[in-house]
Structure 1
């Protein structure tokens, strides 16, 4: 399954829980009525109250999760409150857990001393004033929640740092890929193509050798196309986009040149040109736009019935220049239409077509158009066929709003 790298800005905070934190408070008393009373007093705090009826149960709950504090009765059968507190303090994870003793015993110095010796932070005598008890528990709840928030922020920061480091490593890898593809592959490939062309230019070359060198030339040109696609893909992914160098030119002349080249490679197909103006002058990177147009026309030829024409139209509206490529045939399924311009997407077609395509053509075409501050969109239906529309500003002027910012449906072809 292909994978893609996302920019750091795509790291969503949804990866971390945004639900309000709630503290857990452990209530320990062997008398059910006392537990109900404690719950009623502490319910307004809006925290999770866990009630148990023995020291043994309290120890088991502490193994299951963390608590903000413990409210514990002193006199209980089995493990009493003081013995339970001693065991809680003996564990590293719960050593500093706040314990508030609640007891009906008189305030005798021996009990108070023993309670604080076991780590109690307070020693309350029944009946306890509800407001005072809530206030005391609220203090420990607030401390706990602040600590948990700090932990959550630290975890989020660590995750963001890890993601940033991964993106940095990915960017370095992509830069290395540009170097490898741009130099280490192109250089020997250039030698192979030059040698093949030189041999094919020899008049006395035997037929078998000529056929072999023709295969070498076709294979080398195919590798060259793949190298160029991968370089463009990597440039687009690195964040700077595909660079364009605008120069004065005529879009209609460019269309005619590209159509002529395709007529040579696909002699059995018809491309109809419909130009609303004899010329469409502007300032664009003509070499890059030729790449876009060749991709759209080749795509239309591949995915339309053999006996049907492909129509190429151009027109202008204000400072916007428009180009459409339309082909007949089965429409693109609606569920695939929104994903056409994603990288490594292959259209439906023959197995041979799928093998030839990397699925990068439309992705790179859109990046080239967007580098001109233009738009590339697609629509497809049974009645209309499949239409790719390019809108380009007449000049690459970042000081002015792009005329292509209007919704495509609002743009009508004008003569």
Structure 2
């Protein structure tokens, strides 16, 4: 077949025009030969040397080559030898033309090089044309046969490609349907049933799905048959137990690879099935089968067994690929089933955890708020004591403010939990809104003064009595005012009241502080939202709780800000009533102190807690021995006498029970445990160590003083006998 270096030659080839190459070093002979062949109306190429002829052969093929024997450089014989070495031209007809009449030598040599003829000059044109025409005709027919063969091969290739494409399209459609059907259920059993129905009749006449059970045996989970009446018979197939690992059904599980047999006879059944089951298996009419494993979560959980009962039906590579892909998608579907099951369990656990968290937060907030109440009370009482040294007033004020902040945070957590569970309780009575506003302002006055903020109070509302829980409503005002102070570094704060347009009272609290970005306004009443995170502490619960409380009172609360640095205005609207009711106040009795000096061993690894308790106890006249670890406390307990052991429970180097046992053995000393844990199990653990009392941190100073009084007035012998 010719090469195609030029478009004209390609066109010529398809028009049945052949190419003839004439090689001669003499122009006159080239012209004579070319003239003699013009009548053939073929394409003629000329070359004046063997080298040029070889170059032309690299570019195209020729029907016949006329080759002069005597040429300078490469002669005709040498050129012919090189032509024959090239695979594309090794069979091209070569006619030698020579003027030398050395017939025997030249002709013999020419034919040895594969020449088809040897012509002496002068050439007779008619004879030359006849010989060349024969070779041209042969070349045309050969090329025609080649083209027909190529066209036929291309047709067969196209048909095969089309068949493959159609088969691939059918496979993809089948797998798409399989994926849809496999994800239609989130139950293991139904997924297996769907899988069996996919296999039959697309891949086999019947299908068995089995899986490994917890005991290590194999059990059937789904069957399908092209004849539904035969499915009951398939369900009677006996599966091997965990002790029958030689059974053929285990082969897929053991190898993790597909197992195929395209011929099932007595020998195959004898190799795979126990003798007692062979007759039954033979009755199923099995002619071939293929089993593929189901891989899920890194292990083989089951297998798909596809069975042909039609004579001659086999499982080829395409079918096995399709079965393998189906098994892979089934494994993904089963993984989805497992993920759904886990997600469902996680959701149930999360719901249970959420309920437990709400209960825990309510209990925790309550337990933390209880011991803080006497702390605040005693700090206020001590600060009002005329004899209190001036050096202690500032530390006590710092402590009071931080304890009040802690109390507020704990109250916020407790209230948030109550809001979440719908257990906010109101004790409504008729109260004066102006009085509650003034109380809230007074509580925050020290904060105004610390920042040098100008306070503007304008209480102009004529109707200012509402039916409300006074503590809760004051909490709302206090939250709003505290927020305003916290986010205002300079400027002023205005608290005002006015009569609402549609009745009721409208309270407005305006500040000149940082303001709120407009994008945050819609989230301002959500829990844990803050205008500036970390600014002034807090949990971001104040406004969320305030909104809930205002809603419970039948009112409305809104917030407005023009943007960053332009301040914020919070407005509260409440329905009013006519009759005011005064609110009575009560006094709390002061706690009593101890009556004699006590020798106290204080075991506490937290330095600040140890030092603060030591200072408090020494101020009351007691002698305190400080210890920060169990080792030091044991050394003191075995060498000194003590009236009381105050000990933390969570110590890094040992159990406080060792120290309690040591002081009790030496001197009958009573123990008081200090702990951040206050559950019943924690109290029981404390008693197991031998402690008499369990105090939850932060320590209830009033309760501690009662215990100190008890120790100071009751003899040790009596204390030791009381359990």
- Corresponding residue of 2:387: 204
The Cα of 1:205 is off from its aligned counterpart by: 3.4
In the other structure, the counterpart of 1:231 is 414
1:249–1:125 Cα change, 3 Å: farther
Q: Give the secondary-structure state (helix, strand or coil) at the position aligned to 1:91.
A: helix
Give the alignment partner of residue 351 of structure 2, picking from 146, 159, 164. 164
* Alignment equivalent of 1:381, drawn from 562, 575, 588: 562
Q: 8 Å contact 1:243–1:371 — kept in the other structure?
A: no
What is the alpha-carbon distance in structure 1 between the residues aligned to residue 393 and residue 459 of structure 2?
42
Q: Residues 155, 394 of structure 1: CA spacing in aligned structure 2 closer, same or farther, 3 A cutoff?
A: farther
Tell me the distance in 2 between the aligned counterparts of 1:88 and 1:319: 85
Q: Give the drift of 1:386.
A: 1.8
Structure 2 counterpart SS, 1:289 = helix
By how many angstroms is 1:45 displaced? 6.7
Given that 1:316 and 1:322 are in contact with CA atoms closer than 8 Å, whether structure 2 keeps it comes out as yes
Match of 1:120 among 306, 316, 325: 306
Taking the TM superposition and a 5 Å limit, the aligned residue runs for 1:4-403 are 35-39=164-168, 47=176, 69=199, 90-92=251-253, 113-115=286-288, 119-121=305-307, 154-183=341-370, 185-186=371-372, 190=374, 192-237=375-420, 239-263=421-445, 265-267=447-449, 268-275=452-459, 277-304=461-488, 306-318=490-502, 321-348=505-532, 354-381=535-562, 385-394=567-576
- Residue 327 of structure 1, CA deviation: 2.2
Alignment correspondent of 1:59: none
Q: Alpha-carbon deviation of 1:367?
A: 2.6
Q: Give per-residue Cα distances to partners, 1:348-384, cap 9 Å, x unaligned.
A: 39x8xx3443433223222322333444332211597
SS at match of 1:378: strand
Aligned residue for 1:203, secondary structure, equals: coil
CA contact (8 A) 2:286 2:308 kept: no
| TM-score computed with the length of structure 1 as normaliser | 0.57
SS at 1:161 equivalent? helix
Q: CA deviation at 1:240?
A: 1.8
What is the distance in 1 between the residues matched to 2:402 and 2:173? 76
* SS across alignment from 1:300: helix
CA distance in 2, matches of 1:202, 1:155: 63
Q: Is the 8 A contact 1:314 1:323 kept in 2?
A: yes
Is the Cα contact below 8 Å between 1:324 and 1:390 reproduced in 2? yes
Number of equivalences: 310
- Give a deviation string over 1:17-41, Cα, whole Å, max 9, x none: xxxxxxxxxxxxxx76555444555
Structure 1 distance, partners of 2:495, 2:422, is: 33
CA distance in 2, matches of 1:232, 1:126: 79
Partner Cα distance (1:125, 1:114) in 2: 6
Measured in 1, the distance between the counterparts of 2:517 and 2:442 equals 31
SS of structure 2 residue aligned to 1:278? coil
Report Cα offsets for 1:165-215 as digits up to 9, x if no partner.
Answer: 3223323432441343133x33xx51x444444444443333334455444
SS in structure 1 of the partner of residue 418 of structure 2: helix
CA offsets, 1:198-235, max 9 Å, x none? 44444333333445544444444343333333322333
Partners of 2:461 and 2:505 within 8 A in 1: no
Judging changes above 3 Å, is the alpha-carbon distance between structure 1 residues 207 and 43 closer, same or farther for their aligned structure 2 residues? closer
- Secondary structure in 2 aligned to 1:388? strand
Change over 3 Å in CA distance of 1:293–1:181 after alignment to 2:
same
SS in 1 for 2:287: helix
Does the aligned pair in 1 maintain the 2:361–2:414 contact within 8 Å?
Answer: no
Aligned-partner Cα distance in 1 for 2:338–2:461: 66
Structure 1 pair 241–341 and aligned structure 2 pair: CA distance change class (3 A): farther
Shift of 1:341: 2.8
Q: Structure 1 pair 218/154, CA: closer, same or farther in 2 (3 Å)? A: closer
Q: What is the root-mean-square deviation of aligned Cα atoms in Å?
A: 4.9
- The answer to whether the 8 A contact 2:509-2:569 is kept is yes
Residues of 1 paired with 2:360 and 2:351: CA distance?
14
CA distance in structure 2 between the aligned counterparts of 1:156 and 1:198, rounded to whole angstroms? 56
Give the C-alpha shift of residue 293 in structure 1. Answer: 1.2
Query: How many angstroms apart in 2 are the aligned matches of 1:195 and 1:110?
Result: 95
Distance 2:455 2:521 in 1: 24
Distance change in 2, residues 1:89/1:378 (3 Å): farther
Structure with more relative contact order (C-alpha pairs < 8 Å, separation 6 or more):
1
Q: Given the superposition, is the C-alpha separation of residues 368 and 177 from structure 1 closer, same or farther in structure 2, using an over 3 Å criterion?
A: same
Structure 1 residues 151 and 38: CA distance shift in structure 2, 3 A: farther
Q: Answer yes or no: is the 8 Å Cα contact 1:259–1:271 preserved in 2.
A: no
Q: Secondary structure at the match of 1:47?
A: helix
